[in-house]
């Protein structure tokens, strides 16, 4: 299957309704070579289909398995800094939260083998950037969560996260305040 086929699939996704995202995800998963193109389009900030690609990539990582991202984890983490679109940022922040959850899981999974320290460090760096810049509530909420999870192993993260939540994030909105208070409570 080619990128042109994926483009036709993405063009047929009218709205981010669950059924639309799931149907597109099933088509992509039936042709796993399309995942590489899906990741590439997600980070092609000049492509109007980047939003739809991000919707589908997030759906696959959340509802099927985060392991589908494993061959592209370096590309994914290295390009997070280039994102501009709010919808794409939200999707990728949620994927980062899923990566943290998979990595920290006590269940038997392969995440610890393919999510490397360099990937975690990049995700942590972008998460702090997202917290201190003008981002939507969902991006900040996902960032607080994955920073908390990765901070369990990286002892320098929690003090920084606590400071940023207490001094800035908690005062931004009801949603940020609620998530911030939850994360602060977990860090006690």
Give residue-wise pLDDT tens across range 6-65: 999 999 999 889 999 999 999 999 999 999 999 999 999 999 999 999 999 999 999 999
- Nearest 5 degrees, angle CA 161-CA 173-CA 95? 55
Length of the chain: 188
Give residue-wise pLDDT tens across range 76-87: 999 999 999 999
Interatomic CA distance for residues 105 and 118, integer angstroms: 19
Helix axes 86-104, 34-42, angle to 10 degrees: 120
| 3-state class (DSSP) for residue 44 | coil
136 within 8 A of 86, measured Cβ to Cβ: yes
- pLDDT value, residue 1: 67
Percent of the chain with pLDDT over 70: 99
């Amino acid at each position: 299957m080619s990128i042109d086929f994926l483009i036709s699939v993405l063009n047929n996704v009218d709205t981010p309704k669950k059924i639309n995202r799931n149907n597109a995800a099933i088509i992509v998963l039936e042709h796993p070579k399309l995942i590489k193109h899906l990741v590439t389009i997600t980070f092609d900030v000049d492509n109007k289909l980047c939003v739809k690609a991000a919707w589908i990539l997030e759906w696959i990582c959340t509802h099927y398995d985060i392991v589908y991202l494993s061959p592209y984890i370096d590309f994914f983490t290295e390009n997070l800094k280039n994102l501009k679109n709010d919808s794409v940022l939200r999707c990728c922040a949620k994927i980062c939260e899923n990566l943290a959850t998979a990595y920290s899981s006590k269940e038997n999974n392969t995440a610890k083998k393919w999510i490397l320290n360099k990937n975690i460090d990049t995700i942590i760096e972008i998460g702090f950037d997202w917290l201190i810049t003008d981002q939507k509530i969902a991006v900040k909420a996902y960032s607080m969560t994955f920073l908390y999870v990765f901070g369990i192993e990286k002892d320098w993260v929690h003090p920084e996260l606590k400071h940023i939540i207490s001094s800035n994030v908690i005062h931004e909105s009801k949603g940020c305040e609620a998530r911030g208070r939850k994360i602060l409570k977990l860090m006690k």
